[in-house]
A and B are shown apart, each in its own frame.
Chain A
Amino acid sequence: MTNDNTLISVQDLKVYFRSGHECARAVDGISFEIRQEETVCLVGESGCGKTVSALSILGLIQTPPGEIAGGQIMFQGKNLLELDEEDMQKIRGNRIAMVFQEPLTSLNPVFTIEDQIGEAISIHKNIGSGELRDCCIKLLKDVGIPSPVQRLKDYPHQLSGGQRQRVMIAMALACDPDLIIADEPTTALDVTVQAQILQLLKSIQETRSMSILYITHDLGVVANIAHRVYVMYSGIVTEQGNAAQIFHHARHPYTQGLLASLPSRSKRGKRLFSIPGTVPNPAYKPAGCPFHPRCPHAIPICGKEYPKMCDYGQAHLARCPVLFKNSHNPDKPEPKSI
């Protein structure tokens, strides 16, 4: 699994939230890796653990009620779960930065843009005020904010949503991190601005050669920017592969269902497909495959046995042995579990 150019690899991460007698298994053993200069998308519906996995990379899960129950996150040779708070503060923003979902509320309303971007730099670097100002101007230019010198003295409420998200990206870029975690950065924006922000992220990734972990539930966005995709459902990874594999040869019934529910030209005039049922409550997950109550291909064994990852070759894995057996040729090897 691990290549030389792996930047961060998450192995068997488990994050539980306890409240009273219940234990919500928000993330239940996920593994993924991000290589250098790669855009990886985590896809899944609301509540499947995407954001929790991202926050646990940064060590921002509140304990209690949260609890990292197992696994490791290897980043540049260090296990981030074992670092203490002080070392984590040196990594946050400096090596791994995050862009949030709501640009409207993610900026402090009482400080100017210059203060906030400048602070992002000065937390980690010790540089003079004049140089700091130049850095801010350069960052604002990089993220495509018009007339950056005038904008420096603006407060967040004076900017539009798209501009604020650009400022957030500028803050994330401030220390030239190796990895940017973008947690649904375009959900609060309208479609034209969304396209611009995606374009911006793409160009930043190319020019600065950094990796992006992009969290979204929008398959259109995934098709647009992803190199590789991890589909999550109820705290586990159900399918992983590159964008072409996921979109053209989906091997997991959940991914197939998601793709079938996208509107497209061929379905014009027809009723859109939707996956029946809802996501299971993370505190009371069904035994076996978490997707089996909603799955059209479910057979009795799905409710008993936890599904194994099945290898379709070329790094395309799906967690559905039933479909794998159906498509299985006698000359191929037996399902390899990982």
Chain B
Amino acid sequence: MNKKEKGFNKNFQLETPLAPKRTRLQEFWRLFRQNRLAILGLFIFILFFCCAIVGLFMTSGPDPLLDPAMIRLQEKLRPPLAKPNLDSLRREEIPYLGFYLMGTDDLGRDVFARMLQGAWVSLTVGFVAVGISVLIGIFMGGIAGYFGQHHIRVDHVLVTLVLISGAALVTANFIRSGAALLCLTPAYIFYFIWSQNRSGKKTLPLWAKVFRKNAVSIDTLIMRIVDIMLCFPSFFLILTVVALLPASIYNIMIVIGLTSWMGATRFVRAEFLSLREQDFVAAVKTLGAGNFRIIFRHMMPNAMAPVLVSATIGIATAILTEAGLSFLGFGVPPPHATWGNILSDGKNFIFDAPWLTFIPGIAILIVVLSFNLFGEGLRDVLNPKLRERH
């Protein structure tokens, strides 16, 4: 070492940085706050969330405060804010508020109570369907992005086919042939291990060589499945599936979730492909971390931003899809109110009682719009390239 280095002032490097300390959340909020429309979206989203939860407690249970199923035929098609005719109603039929906030429908049911009940349906459909699609998307996209260049061999494909057909035969009551097919799989696995142990000593027969050819890379397989799924007109696919399955709200959530995971898969795969080459992933590998830890602890949080944004907008789409299904009569079965079937019931009285179509319609519009605005605000904050454009 030369003299200069020996003498350098050690206290100098002990100075603390001058820039104010902000956590990530504070920084996020500071940027998000600048986008007024996104704040409005977030506000409406929170309001909708509270309404749906309060509505759930007020409209369910054995003796609800606001009964959405209470039929008062003598009070049908009353306009919003109308006072009920107290003489003709029994005590339990009088609305809790003392007036019909959003009017009544053709059976005299309180539209306000039905809207509250429908809000909970929309909320759960949105969140559960998007939750399912994001989970599938992360899983498939993660595999395609991280293990993408690994190959599936011909025997993998054949064994899978044999297993599926065997299981199908067993369920179709051809138990013997099905069991024979199912037994083929362990037999092949035994053969594979046995032949691997003595590999190199003898050349393999031709069929075994063909079996070990790489058929397709995992990345290609998953992304082509995504392409195929995207080819289906998903609304009609949902219609078909809903027509076959018993109508229930859970089936609708699952079906919407199962037909909308492709976007998330593509996002996660794209993020993983670029993250995999980053230095910090290599650095974590040199620390001795396994694949599981690298994928879920180090890469996933970095890949979440676009998924979160697409999920927010996906919730809006799921709510719209559910409303559309209910409007067509394929959605949640009738006694239960959803915004879609209130709208559908109201369309027959659109000139006599326009509030029956306008109230749920505007509610759907506002909620979907708020989710989209919030999602776009989120995207602007999380993607630095899109900042400063407004």
A binding-site residues for B, Cβ under 8 Å: 58, 60, 89-94, 97-98, 100-102, 105-111, 119-120, 123-124, 144, 146-147, 150, 153-155, 158, 160, 168, 171, 174, 195-196, 199, 224
Contact = CB atoms under 8 A, between A and B. Distances in A.
B13 A196 contact: yes
A158 B21 contact: yes
Interface stretch (B64-72, B97-105, B278-286, B327-335): B278-286
B288 interface: yes
Contact of B302 (A94, A109, A146): A109
A102 B289 CA distance: 20
A62 to B, nearest CB: 9
Nearest to B291: A85
A93 to B, nearest CB: 4
Interface in B281-320: 282-290, 293, 297-298, 301-302
B288 A91 contact: yes
Given A146-B14, A147-B16, A158-B17, A106 B283 contact: yes
A189 to B, nearest CB: 13
How would you classify the secondary structure of chain B's contact residues: helix, strand, loop or mixed? helix
B301 to A, nearest CB: 4
Nearest to B6: A199
A107 B13 contact: no
Given A110-B302, A146-B14, A150-B16, A97 B283 contact: no
Interface residue tally on B, bucketed by range: 20 to 34
A160 B17 CA distance: 9
B287 A171 contact: yes
Nearest to B5: A195
B201 interface: no
Given A58-B286, A92-B285, A102-B279, 9 more contacts: A93-B286, A98-B283, A105-B278, A106-B279, A108-B280, A109-B280, A174-B287, A196-B13, A199-B5
B63 interface: no
B390 interface: no
7 contacts: A89-B288, A91-B288, A93-B287, A97-B287, A108-B298, A123-B288, A160-B17
Interface string B16-33: 110101011000000000
A93 B288 contact: yes
Given A146-B14, A195-B5, A123 B285 contact: no
Contacts of B87: none
Contacts of A110: 301-302
A100 B104 CA distance: 70
Contacts of A199: 1, 5
A150 B21 CA distance: 10
Interface in B110-153: none
A123 B187 CA distance: 39
Interface string B64-105: 000000000000000000000000000000000000000000
Contacts of B17: 158, 160
B15 interface: yes
Nearest to A196: B13
Contacts of B287: 92-93, 97, 119-120, 123, 171, 174
Contacts of A153: 23
A98 B23 CA distance: 29
Contacts of A93: 286-289
Contacts of B21: 154, 158
Contacts of B298: 108
Contacts of B15: 146
A97 B286 contact: yes
A146 B13 contact: yes
B14 A107 contact: no
Contacts of B23: 153
Given A146-B15, A146-B16, A168 B288 contact: no
Contacts of A155: 24
Contacts of A98: 283, 286
Interface string B225-252: 0000000000000000000000000000
A119 B16 CA distance: 25
A91 B286 CA distance: 9
B289 A89 contact: yes
Contacts of A174: 287
A107 B286 contact: no
Contacts of B293: 123
- Chain A CB count within 10 A is highest, among B14, B288, B293, B297, for B288
A156 to B, nearest CB: 9
A154 B19 CA distance: 12
Nearest to A54: B286
Given A60-B282, A92-B287, A123-B288, A144 B5 contact: no
Contacts of B284: 108, 119
A199 B10 CA distance: 12
A60 B285 contact: yes
A168 B5 contact: no
Given A146-B14, A199-B5, A105 B285 contact: no
Given A108-B302, A158-B17, A158-B21, A89 B290 contact: yes
A333 B24 CA distance: 69
- Chain A CB count within 10 A is highest, among B19, B23, B283, B289, for B283
Nearest to B278: A105
A98 B288 CA distance: 11
A142 to B, nearest CB: 14
Nearest to A150: B16
Nearest to A102: B279
Contacts of B301: 110-111
B113 to A, nearest CB: 45
A213 to B, nearest CB: 13
A60 B287 CA distance: 11
A91 to B, nearest CB: 7
Considering the complex of A and B, which 9 residue pairs feature the smallest CB-CB distances, nearest first? A93-B287, A93-B288, A92-B288, A98-B286, A146-B14, A105-B279, A106-B279, A106-B283, A110-B301
Nearest to A171: B287
A91 B288 CA distance: 7
A318 to B, nearest CB: 29
Nearest to B300: A110
Contacts of B14: 146-147
B281 to A, nearest CB: 8
B302 A124 contact: no
- Chain B CB count within 10 A is highest, among A102, A108, A153, for A108
A168 B283 contact: yes
Given A105-B278, A110-B301, A150-B16, A92 B5 contact: no
B16 A94 contact: no
Contacts of B19: 158
